Amino acid sequence: MENQEIKVQVNHLTKRFGDLLVLDDVSFNIKKGEFVCIVGPTGCGKTTFLNLLTRLIEPTEGEILIDGEPADPKKHSISFVFQEPSAFPWLTAQQNIEYGLKIKKRPAEEIAAQTEKIISLLGLEKYRHAYPHEMSVSMEQRVVIGRAFALNPDLLLMDEPYGQMDIKMRYYLEDEVVRLWKATGSTVLFITHNLEEATYLAERVLVLTNKPAKIKANIEVDLPRPRKVSDPEFIRIRKEITEMIKWW
Amino acid sequence: MKKNRSQARDIMLSVISILLLVAVWFLVSGSRPDFFPTPMATVERFIRLIEKPIMGVSVFGHVLASLRRVMLALIASIILGIGIGLVMGWNKKVRAAINPILMALRPIPPIAWIPLIILMFGVDEFPKVLLVFIGSFFPIVMNTMSGVALVDDMYLKVGKIYKAKTWQMLRHVVFPAAMPTILAGIKIAISSGWMVVVAAEMLSSRSGLGFLINRGRDSYDVALIMVAMILIGVVGALLSAVFTLIERKMCGWMSKE
């Protein structure tokens, strides 16, 4: 892991809304192709943090570098998966997956190839022409996740994408997101409240403190995949994170 | 199977209710047929109308004349209504500037414009089309504006995340998201335009269904009035049905809730 190049550098990121300090001097790096999970208490400034990363809002201090350059929406691509499914209802599954590629005006062959790859990774061949209203919530969310991965973004941010799913569906989708991540080599920052989910998915877990958010710990999860939630080592790491996050 | 049966039942119910209406018509018209022609007399008048054109124009020519006016006006109001509505829905400043004018003009019924328009433009084709335009423009511009203004923030965020340029945002996010509302506006515009065209033709015209009604009044030909009125109803219903098909085709993605 150490010899991997750094993809995203977050330096001294601080955000104030008037007198309210939401994010306090947050610094961390994400390596190229790394899967990082962020966990933290509810209301710890997570949304602000994400909005800063997507450049929807500007930081008060600090900077975000991608490939060593200041993150620039025009140059870098940052994808985002919201908690609520956000597939466009007027597009089919396939058209939704193509959407980002088309907006970026990628060549037609690339759009076709990339879309096919994602559809087959998701196993959505039969449902490619289905509209979101014909899908379950979880299938719609899978299409949205496919849309985000299809673009091979420099950074893929996922904001509790499985927050609304039941436990069985979550296991299935967690395996799927790992499959997509491996197949596309994307760099993923995944936010969750679920510590088991973080331990299951991440190569590294960043633990945030209560507001104003700071990074409290940086925990490597060096377990082989597929991971087993009953593995003693898995349980040990999960407990370690739980101890850190005991904000109550 | 079940669907077919309920469809057949619905068609049967529609036929029965139309037959009932005709029966009532028979009963009512029986006492004073010169005053209120019977269904038979009306059908006869319709056949005579096909055989003997009025003002050198066949009955279908009159229908087409009315349709042509409505279509011309609709094309203008769709282009202008969607264009202006889009900008108003998207840009709050433009909305603030234009909305009061629209709010003040919208309640004025198209018929109230007639004297002004006749004084300004005479009684040619253009003033009739203009009247229909006034009747059909407002529903389209209002619906487009509110459809665009109410696009789910989530979709806009997705567009922003993918760095869609403004026109891409409008073309690929805002426009399709607002499409059902826009189409609903056009549907209202069609029926309102169809009503206004008859009023415009009743003023002064040598063709159109409104003209036929006037002709019927002037020559005390009540059956002709009935024929024209029924044609107005039938064509209006057909227009609406055709547009519903277009709507379904264009917005097939909408859930059938």
Phi, psi torsion values for A75, nearest 5 degrees: -95, -40
The whole-angstrom distance between B173's CA and the closest CA on chain A is 8
CB contact under 8 A, B162 and A104: yes
Contacts of B177 in chain A (CB under 8 A): 88, 90
Contact A133 B253 (CB under 8 A): yes
pLDDT at B203: 81
pLDDT tens per residue across span A228-245? 888 899 999 988 888 887
Number of H helices, E strands in chain B: 11, 0
Mean pLDDT of A81-110: 91
The pLDDT tens digits of the residues spanning B117-164 come to 989 998 889 999 999 999 999 999 999 999 999 999 989 988 888 888
Across A19-24, average pLDDT: 86
In a domain, residue B30? The reply is no
Select, from the ranges A3-7, B161-165, B176-180, the one with the highest average predicted confidence (pLDDT). Answer: B176-180
Give the three-state DSSP class for B220. coil
What type of residue is A12?
H
Is residue A66's pLDDT more than 90? no
Structural domain harbouring B165: 42-250
Region A146-175: mean pLDDT is 87
- Cβ distance B252 to A80 less than 8 Å, yes or no, reads no
Q: What pLDDT is stored for residue B249 in this prediction?
A: 87
- Do the beta carbons of residue A186 and residue A149 sit within 8 Å? yes
Positive or negative torsion for Cα A163, A164, A166, A172:
negative
Count of residues making up chain A: 248
| Residue-wise burial string across A196-233, b where 16 or more C-beta atoms lie within 10 A, e elsewhere | bbbbbbbbbbbbbbebbbbbeeebebebeeebeeeeee
Between B48 and A72, whose confidence is greater? B48
Closest residue of chain B to A73, computed from CA coordinates: B163
Strands (E), chain A: 6-17, 20-31, 35-39, 61-66, 69-70, 78-81, 155-159, 188-192, 204-208, 215-220
Mean pLDDT over B68-80 rounds to 97
Residue B157 CA to residue B162 CA, distance in Å, equals: 9
Determine the pLDDT at residue A67: 87
> B149 lies in a domain?
yes
Judge whether residue B1 has pLDDT over 60.
no
A75/B contact by beta carbon, under 8 A? no
Q: Which residues of B touch A88 (CB under 8 A)?
A: 155, 158, 173, 176-177
A82, B154: Cβ pair inside 8 Å? yes
pLDDT band at A1, cuts 50/70/90? Answer: very low
CATH of the domain at B86: 1.10.3720.10
- Considering CB atoms only, which of A100, A131, A133 is closest to B162? A100
The reply to whether B237 falls in a domain is yes
Query: How many A-B residue pairs are in contact by the CB < 8 A criterion?
Result: 55
Q: Does B1 touch chain A (CB under 8 A)?
A: no
Chain B CB contacts of A155 under 8 Å are none
Q: Beta strand A35-39 with A188-192: parallel, antiparallel or unpaired?
A: parallel
Which whole number is the average pLDDT over B67-86? 96
Chain A residue numbers with beta carbons less than 8 Å from the beta carbon of B156 are none
pLDDT of A2 over the 60 cut? no
Q: Indicate if the pLDDT at residue B257 is higher than 50.
A: no
> How far apart (Å, rounded) are the C-alpha atoms in residues B139 and B190?
10
DSSP labels for A12-40? EEEEEETTEEEEEEEEEEEETT-EEEEE-
CA B52 to CA A63: how far, in whole Å?
84
The conformational region for residue A102 under phi > 0 = left, psi -120 to 50 = alpha, else beta, is alpha
List all residues of chain A from 123 to 162 with a beta carbon under 8 Å from chain B.
Answer: 131-133, 151
CB-based contact B51:B183 (threshold 8 Å): no
Average pLDDT, rounded, for chain A? 87
Spatial distance between the Cα atoms of B148 and B173, rounded to a whole number of angstroms: 10
Is B7 part of the contact surface with chain A (CB cutoff 8 Å)?
A: no
How do A20-31 and A69-70 pair as beta strands? unpaired
Q: How confident is the model at residue B105 (pLDDT cuts 50, 70, 90)?
A: very high
- Residues B137 and B198: their CA atoms lie apart, in Å, by 17
Name the domain count of chain B.
1
Count Cβ atoms below 10 Å from residue A90 Cβ, excluding itself: 22
Among candidate residues A27, A34, A31, the one with its CA nearest the CA of residue A59? A27
- Angstrom distance (rounded) from CA A52 to CA A8: 13
For A53-57, A97-101, B243-247, which range has the lowest pLDDT when averaged over its residues?
A53-57
- From the CB of residue A155, how many other CB atoms can be counted at a distance below 10 Å? 21
**Average pLDDT of A24-52?**
85
CB proximity list for A67: less than 8 A, separation 6 or greater: A7, A76, A154
- Select the more confidently predicted residue: B83 or A75: B83
**Inside any domain, residue B255:** no
Residue B19 belongs to a domain: no
What strands lie across the sheet with A61-66, from one edge to the other? A20-31, A6-17, A61-66, A69-70
Between chains, do A103 and B168 touch, taking CB under 8 Å as contact? yes
For A51, nearest residue in chain B (alpha carbons) = B161
Per CB-CB distance under 8 Å, the chain A contacts of B168 are: 103
Work out the minimum CA distance from B6 to partner chain A, whole angstroms: 24
Which of A56, A90, A131 minimises the CB distance to B160? A56
B16 falls within a domain: no
Chain B environment of A86 (Cβ under 8 Å): 154-155, 157-158
- B residues 176-235 near A, CB within 8 Å? 176-177, 179
* CB proximity A100 to B under 8 Å: yes
Domain assignment present for B47 = yes
Of A84, A90, A131, the CB nearest to B179: A90
Chain B residue with Cα closest to A80: B161
Of B163, B172, B173, nearest to A73 by CB-CB distance is B163
Longest alpha-carbon distance in chain B: 73
B60 touching chain A per CB within 8 A: no
Q: Is the pLDDT of residue A209 over 90?
A: no
Residue B27, pLDDT > 90, answer no
Res. B106 pLDDT band, cuts 50 70 90: very high
- B195 found inside a domain: yes
- Taking the CA of residue A35 and the nearest CA in chain B, the distance in Å comes to 20
pLDDT value of position B2: 65
Q: Give percent of chain B above pLDDT 90.
A: 69
What span, in angstroms and rounded, lies between the C-alpha atoms of A74 and B236?
51
Contact of A25 with A84, CB cutoff 8 Å: no
Provide long-range contacts, Cβ within 8 A and 24+ apart, for A65-69: A65/A8, A65/A9, A65/A10, A65/A11, A66/A7, A66/A8, A66/A9, A66/A154, A66/A155, A67/A7, A67/A154, A68/A6, A68/A9
User: Are A46 and A39 within 8 A, CB to CB?
Assistant: no
Query: Any CB–CB contact under 8 A between A52 and chain B?
Result: no
Q: If you average pLDDT over every residue of chain B, what do you get?
A: 91
- Which H, E and C letters describe A127-156, residue by residue? HCCCCHHHCCHHHHHHHHHHHHHHCCCCEE
Distance of CA B62 to the CA centre of its chain: 17
- Assess B255–A contact: CB distance below 8 Å, yes or no: yes
Mutation test of the interface with chain B: which of A78, A90, A158, choosing the one with the most B Cβ atoms within 10 A? A90
